[in-house]
Amino acid sequence: MSNLSDSTDEVQSFKFDAIAVIESPYREKFAIPRQPNLVSAAKGKLVLIGAANNHELVRDIEQFSHLWLLFVFHGTQAQGWKPLVRPPRLGGNKKTGVLATRSTFRPNPIGMSVVKLDKVVTTKQQTVLHISGLDLLDGTPIVDIKPYVPYSDAIINADAGFAQEQPDTALSVVFSEQAKMSLIQYEQRDSELALLIEQVLQQDPRPAYKQGKNDDKVYGMSLYDLNIQWQLTSFNTVLVLNITHVTQ
Ligand code: SAH
């Protein structure tokens, strides 16, 4: 399914322009955390574009430590959607209504994430919001930004069914000698690279059906322009094998 209706009725069909584009360390879907704030070391930028690239739109926004981002799942949009999906939290084999999940494959491919606002940088030409804790693919189009307001947005005793608790971050991460040497080299430009790799791998990016199981496959993931190879050495330990620069 793709089109919800063929209605051209203005009340039921809307056209929006992106107001910003995300710059993110996540250059591919694999290994992006499944929600924001699980990987605090992930830092990105919200680059305002078009008519929204005007510092007046973000005047006083620094008063808020966190922001809601509404965005388009542009990386999966073309794949359409189905009424039932298999959430990873249910092991990837039980079907649930799409609107009862945070799946990317939705009738309207709109995502929402709370991220931390670190600082606002404005030059004559460009307004940029520096953010962290993001779960967004590089290049994600943003359709709205709103302040996070805890008194209304945080409902402490809310029931969250199969997603009540934060997923276990059970994996321990160790670096090979070779990976440690690369870290020394790359940490000059990013002092939190080791922490970012560690936090991403702790989440166990493997498909849901592999979690909690031994696995001898060598995986590769990309962060910025780096390719990171890793492998499980026990059911709960990941070894980072090597970190190499990807030449384009
Ligand atoms: N916090 C959001 C997203 C949850 S799904 C929400 O609840 O709506 C999180 C997954 O979205 C990530 O694991 C990543 O694989 C995927 N994702 C992030 N940005 C994306 C994009 N631009 N296009 C497609 N998928 C994306």
Examine the pLDDT at 106 and tell me if it is beyond 90.
yes
Question: According to the model, what pLDDT value does residue 14 have?
Answer: 92
Q: Ligand 1 centroid to 81 CA: how many Å?
A: 14
Examine the pLDDT at 164 and tell me if it is beyond 70.
yes
pTM of the predicted model as reported, rounded to 2 decimal places = 0.93
Q: What is the average pLDDT across 21-33?
A: 96
Q: What is the average pLDDT across 135-145?
A: 98
Q: Which atom of ligand 1 is nearest to the CA of 114?
A: 1
Chain-centroid distance of CA 59 in Å reads 26
Examine the pLDDT at 191 and tell me if it is beyond 90.
no
- CATH 3.30.2310.20 holds for 172-245: yes
Quickly state the pLDDT bin for 81 (edges 50, 70, 90).
very high
| 204 in contact with ligand 1, CB cutoff 6 A | no
Name the CATH topology of 4-153. Answer: Elongation Factor Tu (Ef-tu); domain 3 (2.40.30)
Q: In whole numbers, what is the pLDDT of the chain averaged over residues?
A: 93
| Percent of the chain at pLDDT exceeding 70 | 95
Q: Where are the domains of the chain?
A: 4-153, 172-245
Examine the pLDDT at 234 and tell me if it is beyond 80.
yes
Query: Which of helix, strand or coil describes residue 28?
Result: coil
Q: What is the average pLDDT across 214-241?
A: 95
Nearest CA among 169, 238, 168 for reference residue 229: 238
| 203 in contact with ligand 1, CB cutoff 6 A | no
Q: What is the average pLDDT across 240-244?
A: 97
Q: Ligand 1 centroid to 176 CA: how many Å?
A: 30
Q: Ligand 1 centroid to 135 CA: how many Å?
A: 6
| Cα–Cα dist 115/44, whole Å | 10
Pocket mutation for ligand 1, best pick of 135, 203, 222 (most atoms within 8 Å of C-beta): 135
Nearest CA to ligand 1 atom 18: 136
Nearest CA among 51, 23, 45, 24 for reference residue 121: 45
| 104 in contact with ligand 1, CB cutoff 6 A | yes
Residue 185: CB atoms within 10 Å: 11
Beta bridge partners of 145: 69
| Percent of the chain at pLDDT exceeding 90 | 79
What's the one-letter identity of residue 173?
V
First to last CA, the chain: 35
| 35 in contact with ligand 1, CB cutoff 6 A | yes
Quickly state the pLDDT bin for 157 (edges 50, 70, 90).
very high
| 75 in contact with ligand 1, CB cutoff 6 A | yes
Nearest CA to ligand 1 atom 1: 113
Quickly state the pLDDT bin for 91 (edges 50, 70, 90).
confident
Examine the pLDDT at 216 and tell me if it is beyond 60.
yes
Residues 6+ apart with CB under 8 A from 77: 109
| 205 in contact with ligand 1, CB cutoff 6 A | no
Quickly state the pLDDT bin for 7 (edges 50, 70, 90).
low
Question: According to the model, what pLDDT value does residue 89 have?
Answer: 83
| 37 in contact with ligand 1, CB cutoff 6 A | no
Question: According to the model, what pLDDT value does residue 44 have?
Answer: 97
